[in-house]
Structure 1
Amino acid sequence: MERVTLPAAAWRERADLIELCRVLGADTGTTRVVGGAVRDTLLAGAVSDIDLATRHAPEDVLSLLQRARIKAVPTGLAHGTITAVLADGPVEVTTLRRDLTTDGRHAVVAFTDDWREDAARRDFTINALYADPITGELFDYFGGIDDLAAGRVRFIGDPLQRIAEDHLRILRFFRFHARFGEVADADGLAACTSRANDLMALSRERIAAELLKLLVAPGAVPTLTLMIAHGILLPVLPEITQAGVTRLNEVAGYETAAAIAPDPLRRLAALLPRDPALGEAIANRLKLSNAQRKRIMSALGEPGGTPPALAYRLGRDGALDRWLLTTTGSAAVTGAQAIAEFVIPTFPLTGGALVQRGVGKGPDVARMLRQVEDAWIAAGFPDADRTAQLADAAVDQWRRSTSIA
């Protein structure tokens, strides 16, 4: 059989990575690159994370790194993972392992020196590819290279068993399909459909993390359509329907046309009915951060305001959210471009300037400051001189109303 090798890639030339692999005995076949770095390099894609698999026991990895004066952090020692902190970015080193017991959320593992056994516990064939870090020779135990070429996300072994081991694999199946898939694997799809209720046993944080990654994948819209058709999200997010996917498709199109990067929170908001209270409830259910929750609620607010005014009041991301979710057609694109290019100014007036004009300290100052700010926004953010005129006019009106009262 012809030997297949990994294409050249910038990350393979990293001096710190080459040294780490030398320390871990890559020249004797003890350590290999595994997973996403191999997969993405085969697709000529960007590589963000590098993971190594090794026959060394975790304690031996720590010892080898310490002797080589490479900073080592035992980030997951019970599961055999050590993080090597390198100059050009961290690298996770994990001892080969096999599952002893699983409960759908966690696994108890034992360490092994068998590469195929380590590959067999991984989720999909395209994620179980290994490469010699020196020669680039590829090791594929379950047909992952062919699946990658075919655009097929396929479970290793029996899909139902793999889902029983870790219920999150249901969402991972669709997330990887949205990124790499052309045609959904029938056996995997059937297994995910039949076990969709297993998602209810997962933490909402894990569900949110997978969903947000899925939403910015190239095939997010057709994949979500597939998920809706098979009832995948019904147990945990019944509010997401095909109507939401249609809305997401529009927003994704506007992002592309306006040359704006896909945003997972904006896309999540697009999937939901326009109801800030419901958005808040869903954000809370998914255990999103306070900042994320507030952004979802703001995105689902009512339309109104020009693109610059929205950018000033809501910030750039918030303005893009609101504009793209409430505007359609070419206006959505041109407005989004305007928001992206707008330099958000600072309001050139303070409460002290109003006090100097004779306004008594207290609620009148705050109210009048908001009034002048509204006029300043409506006037198109004029300079300090024009803003001073707006302030003078507001103070004059205040004096007249005060004298009449």
Structure 2
Amino acid sequence: MAPATRAVMAALEAAGGPGCARFVGGCVRNALIGQPVADVDIATTLKPEETERAIRAAGLKAVPTGIAHGTVTAVAERRPFEITTLRRDVSTDGRNATVAFTDDWAEDAARRDFRLNALYADADGHVFDPTGEGVADCRAGRIVFVGDPETRIREDFLRILRFFRFHAWYGRDEPDPAALAACRTLAPGMTRLSAERVSSELMKLLAAPDPRAAMAAMAGAGVLAQVLREAQLSRLFEAAVAQGADPLVRLMVLLPPDEAVVRAAATRLRLANAVRDRLAFAARAVPAINLSMSDREARAALYHHGATAFSDAVRRHWAETPHRSSEARRLLSLAETWTRPPLPVGGRDLARLGVAPGPETGRLLKAFEAGWIADDFPATGHAERLQALVSPPRG
């Protein structure tokens, strides 16, 4: 009912007549089950060039984002709407499909992954369910492939990970046995996928409110080992989810606290540099941090490792010992509130004391920093401490 949405649908129907465009997929699914709708995707019988003309004729912006595959993005009130011509697959190699355009809604539905995603709704909100089971699957929390599971997976092996991701977000009870069997059988086919596609799906799965059951099913089917051979699904993961840890902490506790191993896994998955470094810095911090440390010791660790790595390491230790929640929360609170102070002296201070620039300056500054940290970052007495390092007392 949003004005931008109505404007896009009206533009399409002005060109192709009533019923030529329908909402499709996740927006229909989420509307049915009362979940937030992020993206509004639209399917249409209009050909891509007709879609583009219709959008521009209505005074809206049209971007040919995937014209070869039938997709045009309309922009209304700065919001994007992905509009795709109905399609059927001509051929596929498990990664990319060659498609032909059609005006048959059932054909378009037949090439989609899961029945609850093969749902359409017209501009007035009337729902169309070509498989006959999509609405029921939505309401029952069933993730079931459209047609034969192996056929759908062979069309795109990423659907294996999508199956577990959708089960984590929308599934209830046990995973569909036929789908699970197909995922187990065809898991080796995921080697054809790009690392970026795999890591994107994995992180979306880990972001689910409670991915524990889906991850257990994924491990049991041999899919987790195929995706991340270093991963160990253990009570650490169970505890991290129960404690509300974010997706990166959940990924962290799947991996051993070994910086070299973590960097190798992150590089293979082609995770963003910031993500790779966060995982690696946390692994480096784990041995230096324990839940029994005093506030003074914690401030020293925060200074050396930074608040993010410190907090991630604390969460890992908390997952290892869930009964120590009060100690973990104390350290996490300290990490949120303590501000790392800058080193209060520098090379100019040493120069004023007659120390020539060079290696000796670096040695003295490191010695000052070590003592300053050991004394819990005092705010005064810097000149005296520095003088003592430059001219230690005799005798």
Q: Would you call these one fold, judging by a TM-score over 0.5?
A: yes
- Give distance in 2, aligned partners of 1:390 and 1:282: 44
Alignment correspondent of 1:203: 194
Shift of 1:287: 1.4
Shift of 1:310: 4.7
For residues 250-329 of structure 1, the aligned pairs below 5 Å read 250-254=239-243, 256=244, 262-301=245-284, 302-305=286-289, 306-327=297-318, 328=321, 329=324
Structure-2 change in CA distance of 1:237 and 1:373 (3 Å): same
Whether 1:229 and 2:212 are equivalent positions in the alignment is no
Whether 1:216 and 2:207 are equivalent positions in the alignment is yes
- Give distance in 1, aligned partners of 2:176 and 2:96: 25
Q: 1:185 aligns with which of 170, 176, 181?
A: 176
Task: Provide the secondary structure at the position in 1 that maps to 2:52.
Answer: helix
Structure-2 change in CA distance of 1:381 and 1:113 (3 Å): farther
Alignment correspondent of 2:5: 17
Residues 357 and 395 in structure 1, CA contact (< 8 A), matched pair in contact too: no
Q: Deviations over 1:288-311 (max 9, x none)?
A: 222222222112223335555555
Alignment correspondent of 1:158: 148
Structure-2 change in CA distance of 1:138 and 1:366 (3 Å): farther
- Give distance in 1, aligned partners of 2:56 and 2:299: 55
Alignment correspondent of 2:38: 48
Alignment correspondent of 1:363: 359
Alignment correspondent of 1:390: 382
Residues 300 and 325 in structure 1, CA contact (< 8 A), matched pair in contact too: no
Given the two structures, how large is their TM-score scaled by the length of structure 1?
0.85
Alignment correspondent of 2:346: 351
Q: 2:68 aligns with which of 78, 89, 99?
A: 78
- Give distance in 1, aligned partners of 2:299 and 2:21: 54
Residues 308 and 342 in structure 1, CA contact (< 8 A), matched pair in contact too: no
- Give distance in 2, aligned partners of 1:96 and 1:372: 70
- Give distance in 2, aligned partners of 1:35 and 1:189: 22
Q: 1:248 aligns with which of 233, 237, 241?
A: 237
- Give distance in 1, aligned partners of 2:95 and 2:248: 25
Shift of 1:41: 1.9
Residues 351 and 357 in structure 2, CA contact (< 8 A), matched pair in contact too: no
Task: Provide the secondary structure at the position in 1 that maps to 2:79.
Answer: coil
Task: Provide the secondary structure at the position in 2 that maps to 1:28.
Answer: coil
Given the two structures, how large is their TM-score scaled by the length of structure 2?
0.87
Q: Deviations over 1:291-346 (max 9, x none)?
A: 2222221122233355555555444433321221134321223322332x325344
Amino acid at match of 1:58: P
Amino acid at match of 1:251: A
Task: Provide the secondary structure at the position in 2 that maps to 1:113.
Answer: coil
Amino acid at match of 2:126: E
Alignment correspondent of 1:3: none
Task: Provide the secondary structure at the position in 2 that maps to 1:99.
Answer: strand
Residues 266 and 299 in structure 1, CA contact (< 8 A), matched pair in contact too: no
Residues 210 and 241 in structure 2, CA contact (< 8 A), matched pair in contact too: no
Shift of 1:277: 0.8
Q: Deviations over 1:329-387 (max 9, x none)?
A: 21223322332x325344163525524542432334444444444555555555xxx25
Amino acid at match of 2:332: A
- Give distance in 2, aligned partners of 1:192 and 1:119: 21
Whether 1:399 and 2:391 are equivalent positions in the alignment is yes
Residues 12 and 51 in structure 2, CA contact (< 8 A), matched pair in contact too: yes
Residues 206 and 251 in structure 2, CA contact (< 8 A), matched pair in contact too: yes
- Give distance in 2, aligned partners of 1:371 and 1:63: 71
Structure-2 change in CA distance of 1:321 and 1:24 (3 Å): same
Structure-2 change in CA distance of 1:207 and 1:399 (3 Å): same
Shift of 1:230: 2.0
Structure-2 change in CA distance of 1:171 and 1:399 (3 Å): same
Task: Provide the secondary structure at the position in 2 that maps to 1:400.
Answer: coil
Q: 2:166 aligns with which of 176, 179, 184?
A: 176
- Give distance in 2, aligned partners of 1:25 and 1:308: 63
Percentage of pairs with the same residue? 43
RMSD: 2.4
Amino acid at match of 1:22: A
Structure-2 change in CA distance of 1:325 and 1:374 (3 Å): farther
Shift of 1:239: 2.0
Which ranges of structure 2 fall in alignment gaps of 5 or more residues? 290-296
Task: Provide the secondary structure at the position in 1 that maps to 2:390.
Answer: helix
Whether 1:338 and 2:334 are equivalent positions in the alignment is yes
- Give distance in 2, aligned partners of 1:41 and 1:344: 44
Amino acid at match of 2:202: L
Q: Deviations over 1:123-166 (max 9, x none)?
A: 00111111123x11111122111111111100000001001111
Q: Deviations over 1:90-143 (max 9, x none)?
A: 22111111111011111011111111211111100111111123x111111221
Structure-2 change in CA distance of 1:122 and 1:167 (3 Å): same
- Give distance in 1, aligned partners of 2:181 and 2:232: 20
- Give distance in 2, aligned partners of 1:169 and 1:219: 20
- Give distance in 2, aligned partners of 1:172 and 1:396: 64
Count of aligned residue pairs for this structure pair = 377
- Give distance in 2, aligned partners of 1:46 and 1:375: 54
